[in-house]
Structure 1
Amino acid sequence: MPEVRSLTRLWRGKAKFASEPGAWARLRRWLQPFLCLYALGCATLALAVPAASAHAGTQLVRSMSFPDRPMRLIVPFPAGGVADAVARMLAERLSARLGVPMEVDNRPGAAGTTAGDVVAKASSDGHTLLFHQANMLIQPGLEPVPYDVVRDFTPVARVATTPLFLVIDARLPMRTPEQWMTAVKSSPGSYSYGYGQPGSPSHLYAEYAVHGIRNGVPLVTAKGEAAVVQEMLAGRVSACFCSFAAVQSHIKSGALRLVGVTGMARSPLAPLVPTLQESGLEGYAAASWFGVMAPAKTPRAIVARLAVELDGVMAEREVRARLQAAGLTPLRDSPEAFATAIRAESIQWQVILRDVAQARQEP
């Protein structure tokens, strides 16, 4: 094919193309299919770019005008109590920063599933948010729930962690996690764990702590964490996995003793207390937390705006002081870090649930 050979020489700069008779006509015939494809591509791009620009522009306008009406913070706890107080403090601060009212909508019931379902089905425009706790990662392993935590929510930020301490009756001689576990394994019937809410981290950790011990260790259910503490003070319960707020005054009085803490790091609430992990007890790394989530598919720009405002709230000295006074550890978080924690801790809780279930089936 002389045309191809000629064009090859031209591409290499070795042909006197313009001086060859009919060369331009041959070049046009050879390039015609490619020119048609090029023209079609340009036409498609001309249509696509305005559409993409319009979509991006819409997203930008939506984020710039967000919020454009009152917002709701759905809370799975009844009015009153630490969790509700934290939610109302956040709503008040966010309302001031966003420039619109934010209503706290208490939806207790079904172990938090009712509140979660409301937000999972809400419009993904950022005006309906969920304030929840780590229990929502546990509940799907206990019973069917109408949503998928990973698929149906967009993490915004955690605002506080609630480390659970292994607390024992101070009349007992043990002072370390190792001493406590050795005593329990050697005489399981002599000791007991208490918990206040079935399906909570404190309940699962109590079950997990005894799941490999023959003859079993009694587990005592009480009506809330405060009731568990009262049972311990009365000498009817030996230990619990409790929040610092619930036992703080009794630690100071010497009635109860902290021997370990769950999570990956020591708690600033009691920095001298070792983690159970560093004491050689595996399986206690999952944290207990409070955080804010939006419905799935909430635009990134809106999630980013909410995260920035929440970070600003958590940077306030008064907010941090109030959380610490309530026995919580303030946390400045990001959507990405929150999403990573949800994925990792969901796996950890499912492993605990599996091990506990297997232990129950053993003779």
Structure 2
Amino acid sequence: MTEVRNMPHLWRGKVKFASWPSAWTVLGRWLPPLVCLYALGCATAALAVPATPAVTGPQLVRSMSFPNRPMRLIVPFPAGGVADAVARLLAERLSARLGVQMEVDNRPGAAGTTAGDVVAKASSDGHTLLFHQANMLIQPGLEPVPYDVVRDFTPVARVATTPLFLVIDARLPMRTPEQWMTAVKSNPGSYSYGYGQPGSPSHLYAEYAVRGIRNGVPLVTAKGEAAVVQEMLAGRISACFCSFAAVQSQVRSGGLRLIGVTGMARSPLAPLVPTLQESGLEGYAASAWFGVMAPAKTPRAIVSRLAVELDTVMAEREVRSRLQAAGLTTLRDSPEAFATAIRSESFQWQVILRDVSHVQEP
């Protein structure tokens, strides 16, 4: 076979073409194997290349037929009130966007842990969601809870923040947080803080504000923010960390005064009110928020789809107006930003709990 014997000569550059057979002989011998190799290559390429482009994110979710049945939004608040109203507004909008009915399932009790436990144990298929607030980051530092906030949930998005304002009785002369703190420290028995829910950000901030003050400052528990406001108007409570919704009408009428706000930035609800951090008071950066979470191990594509739909809902002008009227600030969030906030704010609340517990030790 001359063609084979000439292969070594080719590598040395000394090929003698005179000994090659005719073209038809070559074609007769090599064409059938070449045809087979070509066919095999085509078949391999067909298997290696997908018939359609790769699908990710919301498109992948649609190809998975999500959602494919009614959904539940578990809410740790009783029917009525601001939080329940926000949850029902979200459920209504998401039902329209997702094409399935989303039911609001109120599960109040045990400081929100009852609702959290239901979702932590639910199937990770995206059909059962939790609508909760920042209190869920505080509760594990107060008592045992049946779940781990980081391990047992997948953050989807925060939808609104509730800035807490340092509010005082307008009959008092103080106008700034510095003036208020100076007065409290110099005569602690003459002033008091009120809060409406034990274990809430309002409660912890009140405890944190009076830490280290000798003889203590009275802390008064009332049955909700509305009751705190009434006690302040009656002169039995001097100050509170309250939501704008609870105090806005009394601030406008001149009965109460806003002198500071928690969080990292001023609130658009009252942009002239400085943050406590601006006033030189550290430790008030964690915010109160409402957010949506799914069970752990919920597929990333489903979480992304839900986050996109929530972002679209929160961008609606009517939704923003209704939340602002309720004293809330809408928030367009992502799963990643929500997860970061949970980690950082959990740490901040635990620091506050540690400092408060240390002060209260005999």
**Residue 33 of structure 1 corresponds to which residue in structure 2?**
none
* Superposed counterparts of 1:226-305, under 5 Å: 226-305=226-305
Identical amino acids, percent of aligned pairs: 87
1:109 alignment partner in structure 2: 109
Report if aligned partners of 1:108, 1:115 keep a CA contact under 8 Å in 2.
yes
Structure 1 regions of 5+ residues with no counterpart? 1-14, 20-45
Question: Residues 63, 349 of structure 1: CA spacing in aligned structure 2 closer, same or farther, 3 A cutoff?
Answer: farther
**Letter of the 1:226 counterpart:** A
What is the Cα-based RMSD across aligned positions, in Å? 2.1
CA contact (8 A) 2:74 2:106 kept: yes
Preserved CA contact (<8 Å) 2:193 2:220: yes
Cα shift at 1:17: 10
Separation in 1, partners of 2:209, 2:11: 88
Identify the residue that residue 162 of structure 1 maps to in structure 2.
162
> TM-score, normalization: structure 1?
0.84
Q: Is 1:196 the equivalent of 2:196?
A: yes
How far has the Cα of 1:57 moved from its partner?
8.0
Does the Cα contact within 8 Å between 1:63 and 1:301 map onto a contact in 2?
no
Output the amino acid matched with 1:141: G
User: What SS class does the counterpart of residue 359 from structure 1 fall into?
Assistant: helix
Q: Conserved in 2, the CA contact under 8 Å of 1:67 and 1:98? A: yes
The DSSP-based 3-state class of the residue aligned with 2:77 is coil
Normalized against structure 2, the TM-score is what? 0.84
Where do 1:1-363 residues align within 5 Å?
A: 63-64=62-63, 65-361=65-361, 363=362
- State the alpha-carbon separation in 1 of the partners of residues 185 and 56 from structure 2: 63
Structure 1 segments of 4+ aligned residues over 2 angstroms from their partners: 15-19, 56-64
Distance 1:152 1:173 in 2: 48
Give the count of matched residue pairs. 318
What amino acid does structure 2 have at the position aligned with 1:171? Answer: R
Write the letter of the residue equivalent to 1:111. A
CA contact (8 A) 2:61 2:305 kept: no
Separation of aligned partners in 2, 1:316 and 1:201? 28
Deviation sequence 1:95-125 (CA, Å, 0-9, x none): 0000000000000000000000000010011
Q: Could you tell me how far apart the structure 2 residues matched to 1:295 and 1:162 are?
A: 24
Q: Identify, as 1 or 2, the structure richer in helix.
A: 1
Task: Give, in whole Å, the separation in 2 of the partners of 1:87 and 1:336.
Answer: 22
The higher radius of gyration belongs to 2
**Cα separation, 1, equivalents of 2:61 and 2:86:** 29
Question: Would the aligned equivalents of 2:262 and 2:284 in 1 still touch at CA under 8 Å?
Answer: yes
Whole-Å Cα distance in 1 between the matches of residues 215 and 340 of structure 2? Answer: 38
C-alpha separation in 2, matches of 1:320 and 1:18: 77
Structure 2 stretches lacking a partner, 5+ long? 1-7, 13-43
Whether the 8 Å contact between 2:56 and 2:301 is mirrored in structure 1 is no
Shift of 1:71: 0.3
- Paired position in structure 1 for 2:19: none
Q: Is the 8 A contact 2:60 2:301 kept in 1?
A: no
Q: State the Cα distance separating 1:342 from its structure 2 match.
A: 0.5
